[in-house]
Structure 1
Amino acid sequence: MQPDLAAANRRVMEDLTKKYGVTPETIDYVTLGPVCVEPRRIVKVPHPPIPAAGAEGPPRRHPGSEPSPLEAALLDTVHRHHLQALAMMDREIVGRHARGMLLAGYAYGLHDPVCNILANCLWHDAVFPASSSPEVLQPMMLSCKAIFRLARRSLDALVAFMRAYAPALSAEEAMSYLSRSHGNLHHAAVLVDREGVFHTNRMDDAFRAAILAAHLPSDAAREAQFFFIVNCAPTDAFLAKHGIHGHPLAFGLSDLRPQSNSSLIVLEFVKLAASSLALTQPPPSSPSLSQGAYRALRIKMHAFKRDQEFCLGIVNIALKKLAFQFGELYQIHLLCGKSLVTLVPDSYYHVNFLASRESEPNQPKLFFAEDRASLKDVDDVTLCCPVTLSGRTGGCSACEYMGMKLIHPVDEKFNGQCDFTKGKDPHIVELFRKEPTSEFDVPLIDDYIFFELDQHPEVITFLETSYSYMSDDQVDPSLLWFENYMP
């Protein structure tokens, strides 16, 4: 039987509020803590340099404001591109390169969006390999927040490219061209040229604007990726070797022969390209974390591991039900996020994951599962089915209310599907509704798993600003107020 972690957390929080005299009104406004130690601190994490006017992405919205219908539709398209890229990788590769995906798997580049995501992901791990430290993990999970953040930053980068390439375009006009080209920069640039829109024809500057907008982890990563993109073009001979023909700009995973292992081909391509570039990296610095910041890092890493184990338990039970239904065993490739749907009288977990039949290990599909939160056996799995990434997807009022971007089935019924807030006080509904982007200005829990001192200055800044002044006894309760809590 799974422990009731949510109830345990509530009991601990109640004890702490009594001990430190925290009022419910204070709790409502705490986001980064440590409310039990001193008044809330506003933490500002530095952002990468912003390009000149005309090269920026979509204007930042105020919290609670809605994106335009065009932006929302394009964001959904780019989100699906990232999930398609993850599904292109086999089980071993997707785990090994989850780090590169989180840190640099963006949709801009010389090829189609899915191929760009894979190439940028594999490039990052080739040029900035993980240290041999046992603390740098090879996880089986990327949270839905992390995947959606990739999509959000990819879209910002794509729009920044278009506005640097054609400065007369507004953000909405740039997104219109991207929507018509399904996020393919080359096709969008062709449309701009065909329709007579003035453009600079300076692809280098446009890619530099895209890289600045994508929020890569360091200046070294930004410079190295710019060098990679503008100097790297696969040769016709290399493409022909794998049955891909035409101009290098046409290189895309959709052109691969059906029998090819696409992820291995792209991996070979990136290794070949990276090895041909004379990249000179600056010597690594040797910063160190303060005691409070280091303890906070360890707690966050432990929380990720426990959350991953919890999510694995949910999915393993769902796959057992799938095996009973279809008589075939499945294996997990990657967990792609979960959401807790709180209803009366029951609560449910919604989960996305990539899995494949054991007989077809290199052909993973994206699945959706719904499980009762009590989760004792397969009878608590109310739904487990594959979901499509090629067309429209189902909506979930409950997940959207919590700011969780999961792919739901179109033709199946599940809890929280619609009218989740019906009959509730509209003021309270709006007060507690979460935007998917509301937590992107601070590190997500996934970031701590891949954190390395010499490569991620923003994470260092956040940890030191938030926790360096605290003792071990203060760090522990303060993290109860942080968004990376256990379910």
Structure 2
Amino acid sequence: MALVPNPSQPGLRIYKPSFSYWYPSLEQDSGSRSHLLHKIGAFYRKAWKRLPRRRPQGLCVGLLDPVSNIVINSLISSRKRKRDAGFSCCEGVQDDLERRSLDALVAFLTRLFPNLPESLAVHYLRLADADALVAARVIVSHHGMKRFDESEPAVLDMAPIKCAALAVGYPNPDHLVHAWRNISGHIDDTLHLLAILHKPSSDRSHGTSKFARMLKTPPSRRSCIISKLTRMLNNGPSPGCEKDIWWAWRLAASRRSRPCSDPYLHTGLLSRTLQDAIHGFYLQALARLPAGSSFYRSLLKAGYCYGPLDPISNIIVNTIWYDTAFPPTMKLELDLDVIGTRGLHRVENRSLYGLASFLCTRYHRFDFHQAMQCLVQADANLVLADPNLVLADPNIDPSSLYVLMRCPPSAAPTSNAVEAQDPPDTSLEKAFLAAATAAFHPNPEAHVKLLTSCKLKSAFRLLHRRPDMLSSQDVKRLAMLLCPESAHDCERAFLPLPLTVYPRAKLAGMYTRISKKVNALLNAYAQMPNGDPKFERYTICGVNDRVCGPTSFPPKYGHTHVNFVATPKSTCGGSAALFFAEISNNDQDDESFCCHVALPPPCAAQIRCLYCEYIGTRIVHPAGIDFHGRESEFEKMACGKDPRNGDYVPPWRAPYYSNSQIINNRRGLAENVYGREKEDSLYDDLDEHKSVDLGPMSIRQIFLEM
């Protein structure tokens, strides 16, 4: 992230995207791999001491510490594995087994975390002494995922273990997963047996005291324990014994006695965590705002999440104020209930740079990375990040803010990121001007006046008396409070905006097709006792029409993933809910479905989808339902196969889908704050404020015009 030069107003510190990231060099990566291979070799020697009369031949990847993983994996039934030369017990392949273990550990981490290149996975494994789950905890800590352990149970499951086995050519990955499921169901017994195996054998106790010999394990008992472990691993699990594997996450915490420091800053990955949190705020704001192209246009142009209120309230207030102060004069002939996906991501990214520029201008001791850390700690809430920022009422204690906002206790940050006694370096007006400029607000000066006015006090109270969807009367009251000079003209007569212009007509046709299918799926999802649909569609807020493909030229894709907000009909009661839909692009309704999805808490993990990550869309996926892009595609990619059809991809040909390709493609959308999107054509002609193609030099031009 780069600081924009600003000679005219040096007090403003405005940041823009930068595509420079730190990744280990070839020399650093080679040195880390050599160090890890040496460490893994020591693990195998320790495991050998625990397994009498057999050489350990299992991988060191699993849910326990590396030595225990080797022991467990070596006891898994090897009738099929003996046919594979790469996993035989010959000394000549020991080095190859250690290299495969390292590759499996890397595959485990890259499957668990999006945006993690293989070189960074190696880097974190070195920091964690080749312990995969300890490395995962370090990644979570350094990247701001402070609520990772509050994520859906499916976030931490057996998929990383299976992908790790597939990546190194393990002959029977399903058998390996089955064994670890058995371990998960009998974890207390397993830990007890492994602790006994950890004791030295009594047949090597010559010359020691009688007391020391009593603490050692006799060979006969050791063999009995190994037999028990072998039966536990290879037999079927007891009914009802299987559970989620978050126990492994908690055990990993006890294996690290000192904090793991990293000399390098991974600011880009930290900002990805914050972007996912901000996306959740926009989804909640869309569930409360009225539907319609007028408000979509205002949200995409000026509905930023920075301000003196909580992020969701800031989005609502900024959107309604802009729609009132700078109203549209035209309206689409077909009022679409779809907000542009890429345009929504762009305003989220602009909000992030607005938040960071606010803090760096307010406190000059902050750089961009420190601002990201501060915002992650405060859940992108400037009131919690900056205790010197007065909320709507000066008598409100910032520590009680989340109680006032009716947020769950688990979502409340633990403390302010800025000490209350730290004096700010600039005024509130300058800090908000920096935020508005970095976010490309259409009218930064007018926006600063709004954010520093006393109007927000009453708006804040009105919003939190209405925690659900705002009625038309609520919107009118807010408009009158925020912009009384323009609110009298709320009932406007719009001129029709034709859909015949390309690409407006193409977009309208695609969205209309998706809307019809979403409606059909939602009507069949839940019915009231009289047979009428229980929900009615409200806003489509995420679309990826490039799932399962391309399979031909011109490219064709098999499915579309959609997020939409739906509201219960008035007779049912309740608040708006977020849904996920997978739609067949081939009009095969039997392959389409929709389901309710829970919005992850801020700074938690997301359910992964290969196709949505590749295209860069922040779509919330279901945890308990399979969909295209969830499991089998990642497994094919781990094997070096094409996820679309399972064909093998030769090493000399770059695969269409790979971990590096996904990261590179996603980065472009994650850093997009400048140019126009196709969806902008739906709103360009609604008023005189057209979307402008803002390039890297536009911020400097803004300064020159001040």
Say which SS state the counterpart of residue 541 (structure 2) adopts.
Answer: strand
Distance in 2 (alpha carbons) for counterparts of 1:354 and 1:417: 22
Q: 1:367 aligns with which of 567, 579, 593?
A: 579
Q: Does 1:80 align with 2:280?
A: yes
Q: Identify the residue that residue 428 of structure 2 maps to in structure 1.
A: 203
Q: Distance in 2 between matches of 1:450 and 1:50?
A: 33
Q: Distance in 2 between matches of 1:372 and 1:123?
A: 39
CA distance in 2, matches of 1:362, 1:263: 18
1:402 to 615, 618, 631: 615
Provide TM-score, normalisation by structure 1. 0.68
> Which residue does the alignment assign to 1:116?
314
Q: Which amino acid aligns with 1:109?
A: G
Unpaired segments ≥5 residues, structure 2 = 1-5, 24-114, 116-266, 388-415, 488-497, 552-556, 643-652, 696-706
1:57 is matched with 15
Task: Report which stretch shifted further, 166-175 or 226-235.
Answer: 226-235
What SS class does the counterpart of residue 68 from structure 1 fall into? helix
| Sequence identity percentage | 25
- Alignment correspondent of 1:102: 300
1:310-332 residue CA offsets vs partner (Å, 9 max, x unmatched): 21122123213313699643211
Given the alignment of the two structures, is residue 161 of structure 1 paired with residue 392 of structure 2, yes or no? no
**SS of structure 2 residue aligned to 1:415:** coil
Is the 8 Å Cα contact of residues 322 and 384 (structure 1) preserved in structure 2? yes
1:74 counterpart letter in structure 2? L
CA contact (8 A) 2:328 2:687 kept: no
Aligned match for 2:341, one of 131, 144, 165: 144
| 1:222 lines up with 2:444 in the alignment | yes
Distance 1:361 1:62, change over 3 A: farther
Q: Distance in 2 between matches of 1:141 and 1:63?
A: 34
Q: Higher relative contact order by CA 8 Å / sep ≥ 6: 1 or 2?
A: 1
Change (3 A) 1:51 1:341: farther
| Distance in 1 separating the partners of 2:347 and 2:418 | 28
Residues 123/50 of structure 1: CA separation in 2 closer, same or farther (3 Å cut): farther
Counterpart secondary structure, 1:417: coil
- CA distance change for structure 1 residues 300 and 440 in 2, over 3 Å: closer, same or farther? farther
Q: Secondary structure at the match of 1:414?
A: coil
- Counterpart in 1 of 2:534? 329
Q: State the alpha-carbon separation in 2 of the partners of residues 395 and 50 from structure 1.
A: 45
Compared with structure 1, are the counterparts of its residues 102 and 440 closer, same or farther at alpha carbon in structure 2 (3 Å cutoff)?
same
**1:353-375 CA deviation, whole Å, 9 max, x = no partner?**
11122235772211001122212
Following superposition, the deviation at residue 460 of structure 1 comes to 8.0
Q: Matched residues in 1 for 2:371 and 2:20: separation?
A: 21
1:279-428 map, 5 Å: 298-323=501-526, 328-339=533-544, 340-342=546-548, 347-358=558-569, 359-360=571-572, 363-377=575-589, 379-390=590-601, 392=604, 393-418=606-631, 419=634, 421-422=637-638, 423=640, 424=642, 426=654, 428=656
Shift of 1:303: 1.7
Task: Give 2:361's aligned amino acid.
Answer: A
Instruction: Report if aligned partners of 2:325, 2:486 keep a CA contact under 8 Å in 1.
Output: no
User: Which letter maps to 2:15?
Assistant: G
Any gaps of 5 or more consecutive residues in structure 1? 1-47, 240-247, 279-294, 463-487
- Secondary structure at the residue paired with 1:369? strand
Output the CA distance in 2 between the equivalents of 1:331 and 1:168. 50
In the TM superposition, residue 444 of structure 1 has moved relative to its aligned partner by 1.0
How big is each residue's C-alpha offset from its partner over 1:356-411, in whole Å with a ceiling of 9 and x where there is no partner?
A: 2223577221100112221233x222443333244643121211012222111223
Q: What amino acid maps onto 2:548 in structure 1? A: T
Give the 5 Å matches for 1:432-451.
434-435=665-666, 436-437=669-670, 440-451=673-684
What letter corresponds to residue 446 of structure 2 in structure 1?
Answer: A
In 2, the alpha carbon distance for the partners of 1:70 and 1:460 equals: 27
Equivalences for residues 251-266 of structure 1 within 5 A: 253=463, 255-256=464-465, 261=470, 265=474
1:218-249 CA-to-partner distances (Å, cap 9, x unmatched) read 3xx222222222234345xx47xxxxxxxx7x
State the Cα deviation string for residues 235-270 of structure 1 (Å, max 9, x = none): 5xx47xxxxxxxx7xx585x4366884785465234
| Separation (CA, whole Å) in 1 of partners of 2:269 and 2:693 | 37
Matching residue's letter, 1:75: Q
2:455 is aligned to: 233
> In 2, are the aligned partners of 1:143 and 1:446 still within 8 Å (CA)?
yes
Query: Relative to 1, partners in 2 of residues 1:350 and 1:134: Cα closer, same or farther, differing over 3 Å?
Result: closer
Task: Please say if residues 469 and 576 of structure 2, whose CA atoms lie closer than 8 Å, have aligned partners that are also in contact.
Answer: no
Q: 1:107 to 1:50 in 2, by over 3 A?
A: farther
1:78 partner letter: I
The residue number in structure 1 matching 2:156 is none
Q: Which has the larger radius of gyration?
A: 2
CA deviation vs aligned residue, 1:57-79 (integer Å, no higher than 9, x gap)? 36422599966332111111111
